[in-house]
Amino acid sequence: MRTFTRGMLARSKAGHDTGKLYVLTEADSDFVWLCDGKIRTLDRPKKKRRRHIQIIYQIPGNLRELIEEGGEIRDEHIRKAIKEYERQRDCSNQQEV
C-alpha cells in the first residue's frame, strides 16, 4: 500500500460528495481526513475511509512549499491549491479536444 502524505489531492469516489476534490490533511491505516477549505475546513475535516477516495499523488506547488518550509497551512491555501489543480486539468482537457 502506498503512503498518503499531507497535502496530496484526493477525489471522493463514494457518498453524497462523489467527485469532489479535497486536500489530505491526515491519514491512518483505515481513514483519511480531508479538507476543501470551504465547507470542510481545517477545523472540521471530513473523515473518510481510504477505499472511498482516489488519491492524486501530487502536492500542488503552493502547499508543497509551505510544507517543506514548515509553515502553517490555512483554508485559503487549500482553496487556492484545489482551484489551481482544477484550472490546470481543464486547460489540459481543452488542449486534447
Residue 62, class by beta-carbon neighbours within 10 Å (0-12 exposed, 13-18 middle, 19+ buried)?
Answer: middle
pLDDT tens per residue across span 32-91? 999 999 999 999 999 999 999 999 998 888 899 998 998 899 999 999 999 999 988 887
**Cβ atoms 64, 9 nearer than 8 A:** no
Q: What is the pTM of this model?
A: 0.87
Per-residue model confidence (pLDDT) at position 97:
55
The pLDDT-based confidence of 92 (bands split at 50, 70, 90) is confident
Q: Give me the phi and psi of 82, to 5 degrees please.
A: -65, -45
